Amino acid sequence: MDKFVVVGGKRLYGSVDISGAKNAALAIIPATLLAAGKCRIDNIPDIRDVRLMFNILRNLGAEIKMLNPNSFEIDTSAIRSQVVPDAMAKKMRASYYFIGALLGRSGNAEVAMPGGCNFGVRPIDQHIKGFEALGAHVRTENAVIKASSAELLGGSIYFDVVSVGATMNVMLAAVRAKGLTIIENAAKEPHIVDLANFLNLMGADVRGAGTDTIKIRGVETMHGCDYSIIPDQIEAGTYMVAAAAAGGDVAIRNVIPKHLESISAKLVECGATVEEFADSVRVAADGRLTKCNVKTMPHPGFPTDMQPQFAALLAICEGTSIVSESIWDNRFRYVEQLLRMGASIQVEGKAAIIEGVPYLKGAPVRADDLRAGAAMIIAGLAARGATEIEDIHLIERGYENILGKLTALGADIRRVEMPDEESAKEDKKAI
């Protein structure tokens, strides 16, 4: 099984360019099903989840042409199926966007229950509630979600929980529903706004994305367009925290600093220097930083997808920090790995109490999921000695060329290749 080996103690210097946003791309790619015509999409991150998404789209009958590793032309005019098979759907969470996109396109969708990172129960009841409010009939048979509607009609939806996935999925269907749809208690993440901008460029009428009320007036046809995906807030945040944990001075380029404010504020609270420019931020740190408390919240709060990485930093800060997770039930599995490295952390329900230790020690650890894996890298960069990280295919689901980007900043990180690995075979099949 492939591993990363990180030898800690190297400070990070230089600049890193941030890729397009994974969680925007994963909704925008299926959204191309709504267009009659070709879409050219730039700034698509070259990551495993995107390759899986392309495989699903191809399997439905789409033509996908690579213009360069981050730009693709997608033509969905010859779609011949509305079925996303189990083997494809269960590889990733975002396969659920095919329900909304296929419903919007043709009034029919059959998508096996989605997979994805494991951090507790991940229901999709709010997605179903939204589709039903648009008049769709939704049932689950043998773990396959079957949604159909002779004619989608605009409706009012009040989400019981703020859900990124449900907000985007219902947007995908509602842009083609007849009349006005009002989504209340909508998620406000930057990728919601990005999806709305993409849909509007294709001819949709979506207003209010980025606030908690989104109004969508259905249109009869939508057309192809050229679009560039926003930079990845979480990838940027991960490099910011890596610079703070390892020490050094790093420019994180091609970002929207506004999207990083909750992360910047916490780094400053810990004693790091964060400077904002028009489309970059600079993070510098020298010596041991100090504790702070973090509570994850929907945007614009501190993102849950930065929680493990920030906890890795707090593990070596001076003082006792409390990290509270309010989005997911079980997102502290990585703590066990940090303990192996000498961290002092106690998990009590949905909070982790972190008593900062002066240093971590390299150890064999595993990536429990995508962001947990990023946390292991950060811990490894700051630790004394070598950290071997297993299950790195989970990290590569969401970080483009993380090895190359960190190496360019001066990190000592290498991949130990095991060519027979199952995930490597899958990657070769993709695209």
82 binds ligand EPU (CB under 6 A): no
Q: Which is nearer to ligand EPU, 192 or 289 (CB)?
A: 192
23 binds ligand EPU (CB under 6 A): yes
Q: How far is the CB of 389 from ligand EPU (least distance, A)?
A: 16
296 binds ligand EPU (CB under 6 A): no
Q: How far is the CB of 122 from ligand EPU (least distance, A)?
A: 5
Q: Which is nearer to ligand EPU, 26 or 338 (CB)?
A: 26
Return the range that interacts with ligand EPU (CB under 6 A); candidates 4-12, 116-124, 202-210, 380-388: 116-124
94 binds ligand EPU (CB under 6 A): yes
* Residues in contact with 182: Cβ distance below 8 Å, sequence separation at least 6, in sequence order: 155, 156, 157, 213, 214, 215, 216
Judged by CB under 6 A, the chain residues 380 through 409 that form the site for ligand EPU are 398
Return the range that interacts with ligand EPU (CB under 6 A); candidates 162-170, 173-181, 245-253, 317-325: 162-170
Return the range that interacts with ligand EPU (CB under 6 A); candidates 163-171, 315-323, 345-353, 384-392: 163-171
Q: In the stretch 249-268, what mask flags binding to ligand EPU with x, by CB under 6 A? A: --------------------
315 binds ligand EPU (CB under 6 A): no
295 binds ligand EPU (CB under 6 A): no
Among positions 6, 25, 62, 124, the unique one binding ligand EPU when judged by CB under 6 A:
124
Active site residues: 117
Q: Please give the residue ranges that form the binding site for ligand EPU (CB under 6 A).
A: 23, 26, 93-94, 117, 122-127, 161, 163-166, 187, 304-305, 327-328, 370-371, 398
